[in-house]
Amino acid sequence: MSKPSVLVSGGAGYIGSHTAVELIRAGYDVVIVDNLSNSEIGAVEGVRKITGVEVPFVEADCCDEAAFRKVFEQYAFDSVIHFAASKAVNESVHKPLEYYRNNLTSFMNVIALMREYGRHNIVFSSSCTVYGEPDKQPVTEQTPRKPATSPYGNTKQMCEDILRDSVGAYEGMKGIALRYFNPIGAHPSALIGELPRGVPQNLVPYITQTAAGIRECLSVFGDDYPTPDGSCIRDYIDVVDLARAHVAAIGRMIEGRSKAAYEVFNIGTGRGVSVLELVRKFEEVNHLKLNYRIAPRREGDIVAIWADPTLANNELGWKAERTLDETLAAAWKWEQHLREK
Ligand code: UFG
């Protein structure tokens, strides 16, 4: 019998490439589609090197319906994991139309083509950003969504709704939205990892680039928040653990274990870590000193958010396994590998 096959859109990206690796390790066939707008073909080569599998790659934009249709015509996957999207919160505030066009069009194209070609299961990359600033910690899937504070966050909410309504209406279709907390780290092989373009906006790539001497000094945005050490708190999830959550979600749908056509799961560790704790941990694990200073708060940041991952633990049979030490060591190894290239 042939292996179940999964289309990974955005599979040359940070989370997509790690997910492709874990799918292959779990016995799936994988097809990657990516327009390489914010990723490199090197990530696909990394996936091939790690797995020893010549994963098929199609360079196409999911917004280009005709090009995307060819992928559905050529490959017989029954499931899709849709990563392809623009993801910078701040950029989305300045380019709202680009964000709405790209993130919504590509997602609607995926669903329409799945429907037309009779493909059944889809996992959507959502985000804990849909909870906004939560009233209570940790957040469960029942925690109400708050009005989005950026076009990026709004596209995540809108795509969740499009998915819920579509799988509710189209017989035989199932969908799972995974709400990621803060993905960090890299594959332990250092063959794939995060590739920020320009000045990193996210904490861990900024830390690793500062440690590598590319950035002079890390700014810790705010030490006067109402938290134990005054810096913001997040739930940092290892990207390999996060990738495994997608494998679990696909398995649940393929094996008919879904309890509803549309399901949502928080994907986090359940542990809140402050910015200053993370900085100190990074120094300790990697035996180095990081140049950092306290800077003013960054506009739009929420004070604290961490996950209650109980539902994913029980229903997906998934749990974050990697320690923060391992994750921060992998992030540093990846940064060093990049500099050696
Ligand atoms: N931070 C700094 N200095 C930096 C960068 C970040 O102190 O140079 C702080 C931020 O203020 C924040 C924490 O580190 O307190 C994490 O910031 P990130 O930018 O790494 O992550 P965010 O929590 O802001 O955003 C992430 C994803 C978004 C997603 C969001 C959901 O990048 O895509 O989580 O909460 F929407």
184 Cα to the center of ligand 1, angstroms: 11
User: Does the pLDDT of residue 2 top 90, yes or no?
Assistant: no
Dihedral Cα 234, 181, 95, 59, nearest 10 deg: 140
The SS3 of residue 259 is: coil
Which of 126, 150, 203, 267 to probe ligand 1 with, by most ligand atoms within 8 A of CB? 203
User: Does the pLDDT of residue 341 top 90, yes or no?
Assistant: no
Give the pLDDT of residue 3. Answer: 86
220 lines ligand 1 (CB under 6 A): yes
User: Any idea which residues carry the catalytic annotation?
Assistant: 152
With a pLDDT cut of 70, the percent of the chain lying above it is 99
Give the pLDDT of residue 339. Answer: 84
Of 237, 327, 221, whose CA–CA distance to 282 is shortest?
327
Q: Whose CA is nearest to atom 7 of ligand 1?
A: 220
Please provide the average confidence, as pLDDT, over all residues in the chain.
Answer: 97
84 Cα to the center of ligand 1, angstroms: 20
Q: For 234-271, how does the pLDDT look when each residue is reduced to its tens digit (9 = 90+)?
A: 999 999 999 999 999 999 999 999 999 999 999 999 99
User: CA separation (Å) from 111 to 62, 77, 123, 195?
Assistant: 11, 14, 11, 28
Token digits of residue 97: 């139309």
Q: Are 103 and 61 in contact (CB under 8 A)?
A: no
What's the mean pLDDT in 97-112?
98
Which of 3.30.1490.100, 3.40.50.2300, 3.40.50.720, 3.30.420.40 is the CATH number of 5-185+236-268? 3.40.50.720
Q: For 203-244, how does the pLDDT look when each residue is reduced to its tens digit (9 = 90+)?
A: 999 999 999 999 999 999 999 999 999 999 999 999 999 999
Which DSSP string do the residues of 274-324 spell out, in sequence order?
EHHHHHHHHHHHHT----EEEEPPPTT--SB--B--HHIIIII-----S-H
Q: Please compute Rg for the chain using Cα positions.
A: 19
Give the pLDDT of residue 122. Answer: 98
The SS3 of residue 22 is: helix
304 lines ligand 1 (CB under 6 A): no
Which of 194, 298, 327 to probe ligand 1 with, by most ligand atoms within 8 A of CB? 298
Q: Whose CA is nearest to atom 14 of ligand 1?
A: 203
324 Cα to the center of ligand 1, angstroms: 17
202 Cα to the center of ligand 1, angstroms: 5
221 lines ligand 1 (CB under 6 A): yes
Q: For 272-327, how does the pLDDT look when each residue is reduced to its tens digit (9 = 90+)?
A: 999 999 999 999 999 999 999 999 999 999 999 999 999 999 999 999 999 999 99
Q: Whose CA is nearest to atom 4 of ligand 1?
A: 203
Token digits of residue 296: 């003013």
Give the pLDDT of residue 1. Answer: 61
Residue type, 236: Y
In the 8-state DSSP scheme, what is residue 191?
S
Domain residue spans of the chain: 5-185+236-268
Q: Whose CA is nearest to atom 33 of ligand 1?
A: 87
Which of 178, 275, 306 to probe ligand 1 with, by most ligand atoms within 8 A of CB? 275
226 Cα to the center of ligand 1, angstroms: 17
* Residues 51, 46: Cα–Cα separation, whole Å: 9
Q: Are 19 and 243 in contact (CB under 8 A)?
A: yes
Token digits of residue 51: 């797995």
2 Cα to the center of ligand 1, angstroms: 42
Neighbours of 15 (CB within 10 A): 22
Which residues of 151-217 form beta strands (DSSP E)? 174-180, 182-184
69 Cα to the center of ligand 1, angstroms: 35
Atom of ligand 1 nearest to the CA of 88: 33
In the 8-state DSSP scheme, what is residue 133?
S
Which of 301, 303, 327, 328 to probe ligand 1 with, by most ligand atoms within 8 A of CB? 301
Q: For 13-37, how does the pLDDT look when each residue is reduced to its tens digit (9 = 90+)?
A: 999 999 999 999 999 999 999 999 9
Of 78, 24, 34, whose CA–CA distance to 247 is shortest?
24
276 lines ligand 1 (CB under 6 A): no
292 lines ligand 1 (CB under 6 A): no
**Given pLDDT bands bounded at 50, 70 and 90, which one contains residue 103?**
very high
**Given pLDDT bands bounded at 50, 70 and 90, which one contains residue 340?**
confident
